[in-house]
Amino acid sequence: MKKHIAHISKIDKILGAHIKRIGPIKRDGEKTLNPFEALVSAIVYQQLNGRAASVILGRVLALFGESDFPAPKDFLKMSDEKLRSAGLSRAKTAAIKDLAQKTIEGVVPTSIEIAKMKDDEIVERLVSVRGVGRWTVEMLLIRMGRHDVFPTTDYGIRKAFQLVYKKRKLPTPKVLEKHGEIWRPYRTMASLYLWRILDTYDK
């Protein structure tokens, strides 16, 4: 990761100053992440704080009474009523079942398949799942250790960018996309630092 940090620091002196202040960020990508399991969790966590989402996810998994993560077919067999009794909304229940169906159909790639695919190909495939947008897929890609992901619609990224570059207004995703070109091919590292910078401003 030193190569990534050195590239960004050299090409962008403003962000580089913050990188020097914060120091190295250790990053361990989960390259063998199971896409189905990761997306089930992502759907549950949408629009909820971490603690509440964790409790609901635990209740959902407990419905199946197994130590292993339930398979797509298990979710399809489970009634909507039982899933909702664990705390899932109607929309999230429908999204998880659509995810399960599309996983069985092969629309959702396996971890082996996804390792051979380009980022844009993965996004195109996964956003066809109900309730899964580009941001959710980008978070998955970052967790998988992809090097050049830049979630320009993420509020935290936009707010950090505003603070770092002293913008009067919250920048649009288009503005971020344009600036982020200089960070290629290591935009994930820039994203991680922007999130960390925002954390330091919030303290």
Q: How many helices (H) and strands (E) does the chain have?
A: 13, 0
Specify the DSSP class assigned to residue 108.
Answer: S
For residue 201, the number of C-alpha atoms closer than 13 Å in the C-beta half-sphere is 15
Phi and psi, residue 126, nearest 5° = -80, -30
Two tokens at 151? 């979630």
Specify the DSSP class assigned to residue 183.
Answer: G
Number of Cβ within 10 Å of residue 189's Cβ equals 21
CA distances from 26 to 5, 106, 187 (A): 11, 34, 15
Beta carbons of 41 and 33 less than 8 angstroms apart = no
23 contacts: CB under 8 Å, gap ≥ 6? none
Distance (Å, whole) CA 155 – CA 164? 14
Identify whether 68 is a catalytic site residue. Answer: no
Secondary structure class of 1 (helix, strand, coil): coil
- The residue from 98, 148, 154, 202 that is catalytic is 154
* Residues with active-site annotation: 154
